Amino acid sequence: MARWTRPYGTAPPRKTIGASMTHTIVAGLGCWLPPTVVTNADLMAPEMDAFVRRRIGIAQRHRISDGAATVHLATEAGARALASAHAEGVDALILATTTPDRLCPAGAPEVASRLGMTGIAAFDINAGCSGFLYACELAKGLIATGTAASVLVIAAESTSTMVNPADSSTAPIFGDGAGAVVLRAARPGQASTLGPTVWGSDGTLADAIAIPAGGSRHRAASPASDGNDLYLHMRGTEVLRNAVRRMKAAATGAAAAVGWDLSDVDVLIAHQANATITTALAAALPFPLARMPSNIETIGNTAAASVPILLAQAAGDGTVKEGQRLVMVAFGTDPARAGGRGRDGQRGAAPGDGGVRQRPVLGGDHRHLAPGCHSLSVKPPRRPQKARQTSARPTDRPRTVRYVHREAMSPMLRIVIDTLTQKAGLPAAPVTPTATLTQAGVDSMAIAVLAMVLEDDHGVVITETDLSGNSTIADLAALIERHQAANA
C-alpha cells in the first residue's frame, strides 16, 4: 500500500463548498471551574512543591467533587457561553473530552438536554488536548454547508479521575474544568472570525500518552499492573519534544494559511501543558512570551478544556481584545495537533483579504463569563523561578564552578548554555561551563529541550545516557562536538 504523509504545519488544499458557503463567527464564550481547589501542599512534600512550581509552573488546580462528572462541567460552561451569546439554543452541540462519564453513551446529548435543547444534533469527539480545536473545525464545516446555523462547542475534562494519585509524574499536572464557545453563521457583510485550521495526527506515537486498559483492546487492567493500567501513562520527555515541534508547525502553518507572519499575531493562545513547554515553544517560534497568556499556575493542565478556558478568561479580563489577531494551538494524545486563527477587527484587512474590514475576533457579552473563570489572573507565563540565594562563605561554594568569559567559549558551548537558560528556562547563574549538570539544575525537561534543539537545529542526536549527572556543561558541549565531527 502506498504511504502518504502530509508535511507538518501544512494546510490541506482549500475547496469551495458551493457559491453560498457561509463563514463562522464567535458569538459567545464561557467557562467553568469546579469550586474545590487543591494546592501543591495538599498533594506533595515541600521539595516536590518547589520543583512543580519552578519547572511545571503549577501551584494549584481545581478538582470535581464526589458525584460530579464531565457532563456537569460541560453543562455549566455551555450555559455561560449561551448567556454570553444571548442565545436560548443552538442547532448542534459538540463535546470534546478525553474523560467521558461512561464509555457509552456519549455525553453530548445529556448536556444538550440539561441545557433545555433536547432533540438537537449532539455528539462527542476525542482528540486529546487538541479536541477543542478539532471540534471548532467540525462546527465550522456544519455552518459552512448550511447544516447548522449555530453550534455550541464545549471542551470539558475531569482529568483528575484518570491519573493515579500515587504517580508523581502525572498527579500534580492535571486539573478539571470546561470551556465553551457559541459559533454561528456570519450575517451578510460579516467576515469570518475563525480562519483556516492546520491539523494532523501521528499514530506512531499512540503510546506516548495513553490509558492502557478500559477499552476494547484491554477491557480490564492486567493483574501485574495492580490497577495502574486504568490510569494515564505518559512518556514525558518524548511528549515535550513532540509538543514543541508540532505546535510550532501548527502555529506557523495556521498563520501562513491566511498570509500572516507570526509578527502580525497579537496573541497566541497555547495549550497549557506545562511552563517549560510554553517557554520552549515561545523560543522555538520565536514569539514573545509576554503575548502568550497563561493560567497554568492556578488551573493546571485541563487537557481539551485548556484552550477554551484560557480564551474565555483572556477575553473576560481584557487580555484578548476586539480587533486583535489571534492564533490558538494545541497538541493532544493521538498525538493530534491543531492550530487555528481568528481574524482581527479594527485594523483593516489581513493580507489577501481583498480589503474587507473584518469582524472583531470575539463577539458576545463577556460579562456572562463564569465568576470562577474571568476573575482569575491571566498573565504571561513566568520563567522558572530562581532558587533563593543565601550568603555563603567562600569555603562553602563549589570549588569546581568558576567564571569563564563568554568570548572564550566554543560555539557549541554557547549554544548549550543559551538553550538551557533561554529555551529550557533554567536560571542562568548556575549554568556555567565548569558546573556539573546536577549543579546547574539540569533535569529531564531541560534535557528534552536540549536534545530537541540539537537534533532539529544542528543534526546531533543525543540520549539521556550521554547526559551523565557528573558531566560538566563543558564536557557535554565537547561530547556534542564529537558527535558532530563523527557525522560530518
Which of 429, 400, 415 minimizes the C-alpha distance to 481? 415
Which three cell numbers mark 371? 465568576
Taking the C-alpha atoms of 45, 50, 52 and 57 in order, what is their torsion angle to the nearest 10 degrees?
150
Which three cell numbers mark 178? 470546561
Residue type for position 339? G
Which residue among 72, 301, 374, 483 is the active-site one? Answer: 301
Which of 101, 79, 102 minimizes the C-alpha distance to 89? 79
Are 329 and 253 in contact, with CB atoms under 8 Å apart? Answer: no
Strand order through the sheet with 194-201: 194-201, 336-342, 326-331, 267-270
129 assigned to active site:
yes
Which of 196, 175, 114 minimizes the C-alpha distance to 373? 175
Taken in order 348, 179, 86, 138, is the CA torsion positive or negative?
positive
Which residue among 129, 368, 373, 374 is the active-site one? Answer: 129
271 assigned to active site:
yes
Which residue among 23, 72, 233, 271 is the active-site one? Answer: 271
Are 178 and 192 in contact, with CB atoms under 8 Å apart? Answer: no
Enzyme catalytic residues = 129, 271, 301
